[in-house]
Amino acid sequence: MRLYNTLARKKQEFTPQNGNKVNMYVCGITAYDLCHIGHARSSVVFDVLYRYLRSKGYEVNFMRNFTDIDDKIIKRANELGKESGEIAEKYINEFYVDMDRLGVLRAGVEPKCTEHIPEMIKLTEELIGKGHAYAADNGDVYFRVRTFEGYGKLSGRNIDELESGARIEPGELKEDPLDFALWKGAKPGEPSWESPWGPGRPGWHLECSAMSEKYSSLPLDIHGGGQDLAFPHHENEIAQSEAATGKPFANFWVHNGFVQINSEKMSKSLGNFFTIRDILAQFLPETLRYFLLTMHYRSPLDFSFDALEEAEKGIKRVYSALAQIAVELEKANWKKSPFPEEMVREMDEIEAKWLEAMEDDMNTAGAMGQLFNAIRLAGRIAEDKNLRKAEGARDLWQRIRAAVEGWAEVLGVFGRDPQEFLAELRNNRAARKEIDSAAVQAKLDERQEARKNKDFARSDEIRDELAAMGVEVKDTPQGATWDVA
């Protein structure tokens, strides 16, 4: 498998350093608010990477932290008159609610900052002892950026560029504007922990260095997060960890791209900020997850509700095809008639290209394209009256269904019972368009009764009434079904 390594600025062959064991650390949320679609994208991207590595037989030690003490958490707690710990705990729980709905698997290790203060103090002491950090008179401890020769290697920035924009804020006692806080001396009313430099709390960057080293040997195989974390957060993690240990911090740095809203950066000030719950109030979780995988993870993703509706059409196509395959496979009386070998070879090629896409920097968009190719192949068999009765058709349908089930396990979509999902999707679309599903069913029952009584004029009237409501009726051997037009 080849992954794009931000540190190398190119795709590289991914080989774990310890056989089939992979240590992967991904930066989690700062727990002060509900998760937005940017959090959803990052979580889904690394969930798929986790799933895919496991499908390849790797034993993955997946670590994802929670920042549960931070300026933003303290600010929110003060606004609400609550303790910062209470705020953090609330939004960690809300994170789980959102991610469970999106099918994001729990990480094997999910450390919290406040539970690892001793490890952070120890790391800070090591850095001071090696001359890479210093304590100020006010209880702050800073990292000496200029003592770390490789600073900027992840983000591609150099010291001269950084120096021109660096400033020392009021109250800071830095030796150099580039230095960053490892430990912050306590301010009145803030949560604090005892340390050799007086009461205080850790800086944001310090926690990931300390926690990843506790739960994994260094270097990590993969360190991941959003593109916005590459600088300064991940750059500072590298400086701290490598200055303290003398070892590389991570072999691969993997970053997902930004989410844009109608081609603009998502921002509360612009009024285009959407939480996961804003979206799931209108669309099914699987639709959102599918949408997040339709672009390569490193590319910007332009979110709009129109784009979600298009994603919904795509997911409906797949589930409708899976439902049709299930119906066809229930039939008996298969014939030992000739079946085109080129269709079997086509499926060989589709499966090979799916794997090729995933092996090429986890190209879920390309992999999804192959999934649709498999669905189209299944449809071509169904459209041919002679082919669909052949044993070869049965075998290929079974193979297509098995392939999609395997891909669904990796992608986290298309894994549900097709009829169940399609019914839920229909009801969701009806609710969004303010169509009363119960009223539709009542009209369908009335129409069925009219057809039973051979009152075809009334039956046609009801069909027209439903069409006026935005409902499309389809008569099948199993009875009438409906969908949102």
Question: Does pLDDT of 315 surpass 90?
Answer: yes
SS3 114: helix
d(CA 469, CA 467): 5
Candidates 1.10.150.110, 1.20.120.640, 1.20.1530.20, 3.40.1280.10; CATH matching 306-419:
1.20.120.640
Q: What is the domain class of 2-276 according to CATH?
A: alpha beta
The reported pTM is: 0.94
pLDDT tens digit sequence for 16-32:
999 999 999 999 999 99
- CATH 3.40.50.620 domain extents, the chain: 2-276
Least confident of 25-34, 151-160, 258-267: 258-267
Task: Indicate the DSSP class of residue 169.
Answer: P
Place of tokens 């209880």: 139
Percent of the chain with pLDDT over 70: 99
Question: Does pLDDT of 164 surpass 70?
Answer: no
pLDDT tens digit sequence for 183-206:
999 999 899 999 999 999 999 999
Task: Indicate the DSSP class of residue 106.
Answer: P
8 Å CB contact between 347 and 400 = yes
Token reading at 109:
């290790």
Question: Does pLDDT of 169 surpass 80?
Answer: no
Token reading at 86:
């209470």
Smallest CA-to-CA distance from 308 within 70, 107, 40 is with 40
Least confident of 281-285, 308-312, 452-456: 452-456
Task: Indicate the DSSP class of residue 151.
Answer: T
8 Å CB contact between 469 and 457 = no
- Averaged over 385-398, what is the pLDDT? 93
Buried b (16+ CB within 10 A) or exposed e, 309-348: eebbebbbebbbbbbbbeebeeeeeeeeeebbeebeebbe
pLDDT of amino acid 165? 64
Q: Give the list of residues 6+ apart from residue 57 with CB closer than 8 angstroms, or none.
A: 20
Count of CB atoms situated within 10 Å of the CB of 439 = 13
d(CA 473, CA 83): 56
- CATH 1.20.120.640 domain extents, the chain: 306-419
